[in-house]
Amino acid sequence: MTTPITVSNYLDKYGLNNWSLELLSDKKFSNIVVIPAIQESEKIKPLLASLLENDKKYLNRSLFVFVINNLKSSNNEIKTDNRKSLEYLRDIIFEKSDYGINIGLVDASSSGLELPEKDGGVGLARKIGMDLALTQFDYSNSDINILICLDADCTVSNNYLASIIQSFNQSNIHAAYVEYEHILLKNKQNQLAIICYEIFLRYYVLGLHYADSPFAFPTIGSTMICDYESYIKIGGMNKKKAAEDFYFMEKLAKITEIKKISDARVYPSSRGSWRVPFGTGQRVNRFSAGTHNEYLLYDPKSFYILKSWLKIYNSKEILDAGLYLKSAEAIHKSLYDYLVQNSFEDSWNKILKNSKSDEQNQKQKQIWFDGFRTLKLIHYLRDYGFPPVNMFEALDQYFELTNYNLQFKRKEIIPSIEEQVDYLNLLRRLS
């Protein structure tokens, strides 16, 4: 079996040689799930148990690559726990051939194999696993070779693999995300924290949907999926210690449409965590500490401004920079100021100069006003004219803005946990 030249070229240019993949056989696969793990020895077992509930037909064609990682400076508790994970997974790989799951293991934890202090983190751990996965695909098979991201502290639905594999192979998908739901634990404080955070995540995506943004998708590491060609086209996974998922999905969105796989689920952990400086774990910690008012969302008017701008900017009509800026100022002065501060006129003139066709012009438009600039605009509007709004007031205003008939009415500014769950469940259905 010949490795495609694109894969060889990518690995020559971007691949890392410090780590290797521990496998029992030389079998090749159509689907590879990459799972970074740090101090997760107790979480790996329930993850594997949930994966074992998936159809054996799809399990046989899939490889699960665990990247057990830490820094040299990581504390002994982390390193000891990682050794447990390594021992547990090696026992499955080399002693339990009838376990039911094909497991690969990357040791980025033991002495001499630790992640570098500068870049070491979840982005690099994902990259190591995903790059090594390129060496294990069955490129002679007619099936699409799929790279799937997951996290060690998640569980999945029993149709997880079937849904992903069928969606990619039957619907010509190149990049996607699988639906997610944080588990609501019994602890009330934790429930309130995770309800609040998931509403925040889903509200932003809904706002982008309303605005017709091409970046209206969640950026959650454990939900990301793409084919190997798309992975190579964007230069692979980045090495960021946090927000690696945001930048990875944004780069994918610039070359292909991000699809939603809605009939399967990933269930991310709802615990507090030290692992990354923001995200679920950090927000749960912050909620418990009570240092911030967590019940705030972007003003829905921000998304109305974004929608008005994108209607002009993303239309097929090509205007000169002055007309775009004049239109932006007519929408709202803060939008105009944001574009000026981001050197829109110079950037647009370069796009016009370098685009040789209307198609290329449209592509360059999206590359310039990307997911990052979209988020920065929403933040700019928040800081200059549209301060954050009470979470549930913002939701009510959003539903009014989109003419959605809300079937329940809240009784308080911050409603009961039961009413908060009603809001969350509605957002889960809509986003």
Question: Which residues, including other chains, have CB under 8 Å from residue 193's CB and lie 6 or more apart?
Answer: 270, 283, 284, 287, 288, 294
Of 271, 273, 286, 252, which Cα lies nearest the Cα of 366? 252
Q: Answer yes or no: are the C-beta atoms of 255 and 262 closer than 8 Å.
A: no
Evaluate if residue 93 carries a pLDDT over 50. Answer: yes
> What is the dihedral sign for C-alpha 209, 212, 214, 215?
negative
What is the distance between the alpha carbons of residues 130 and 147, in angstroms, rounded to a whole number? 7
- When pLDDT is cut at 50, 70 and 90, the band that residue 277 belongs to is very low
Please report, for the chain, the start and end positions of each structural domain, with discontinuous segments joined by +. 5-185+214-276, 300-383
Cβ atoms within 10 Å of 323's Cβ, excluding its own: 12
What is the distance between the alpha carbons of residues 145 and 63, in angstroms, rounded to a whole number? 11
Per-residue pLDDT of 176-199, as tens digits, reads 999 999 988 778 888 888 899 999
Q: Determine the pLDDT at residue 275.
A: 46
Helical spans, DSSP H, in 369-410: 371-383, 391-401
Q: Which helix (H) or strand (E) holds 156?
A: strand 155-156
Q: Answer yes or no: are the C-beta atoms of 377 and 338 closer than 8 Å.
A: yes
Q: Determine the pLDDT at residue 184.
A: 84
Q: Is 412 exposed, middle or buried (0-12, 13-18, 19+ CB in 10 A)?
A: exposed
Distance of CA 103 to the CA centre of its chain: 23
Categorise residue 172: left if φ over 0, alpha if ψ from -120 to 50, beta otherwise: left
Evaluate if residue 271 carries a pLDDT over 80. Answer: no
Amino acid, res. 429 = R
5-185+214-276 is classed CATH 3.90.550.10? yes
Percent of the chain at pLDDT above 90? 83
Identify which has the larger pLDDT, 241 or 180.
180
> What is the dihedral sign for C-alpha 319, 320, 321, 323?
negative
Q: Is pTM, for the whole model, over 0.85?
A: yes
Cβ atoms within 10 Å of 183's Cβ, excluding its own: 14
Q: 105 vs 7, 19, 36, 37, 109, CA distance in Å?
A: 21, 10, 10, 11, 11
User: Across the chain, what does the average pLDDT equal?
Assistant: 93
What is the distance between the alpha carbons of residues 389 and 409, in angstroms, rounded to a whole number? 18
Evaluate if residue 281 carries a pLDDT over 60. Answer: no
Of 127, 48, 121, which Cα lies nearest the Cα of 85? 48
Give the CA angle between residues 20, 24, 29 to the nearest 5°: 80
Per-residue pLDDT of 328-379, as tens digits, reads 999 999 999 999 999 999 999 999 999 888 889 989 999 999 999 999 999 9
List the beta bridge partners of residue 389. 297
Q: Determine the pLDDT at residue 269.
A: 82
Phi, psi at residue 157, to the nearest 5°? -75, 165
Round the CA-based radius of gyration of the chain to a whole number and report it: 23
What is the distance between the alpha carbons of residues 168 and 143, in angstroms, rounded to a whole number? 9
Cβ atoms within 10 Å of 382's Cβ, excluding its own: 18
Tell me which residue has tokens 């799930």: 33
Q: Answer yes or no: are the C-beta atoms of 407 and 357 closer than 8 Å.
A: no
What is the distance between the alpha carbons of residues 34 and 222, in angstroms, rounded to a whole number? 9
Read off the tokens for 344.
Answer: 């829109």
Per-residue pLDDT of 371-393, as tens digits, reads 999 999 999 999 999 999 999 99
What is the distance between the alpha carbons of residues 413 and 401, in angstroms, rounded to a whole number? 19
What is the distance between the alpha carbons of residues 239 and 249, in angstroms, rounded to a whole number? 14
Give the CA angle between residues 146, 219, 331 to the nearest 5°: 130
Percent of the chain at pLDDT above 70? 94
- When pLDDT is cut at 50, 70 and 90, the band that residue 201 belongs to is very high
371 secondary structure, DSSP code: H
Of 285, 255, 19, 280, which Cα lies nearest the Cα of 132? 19
Tell me which residue has tokens 């997974």: 89
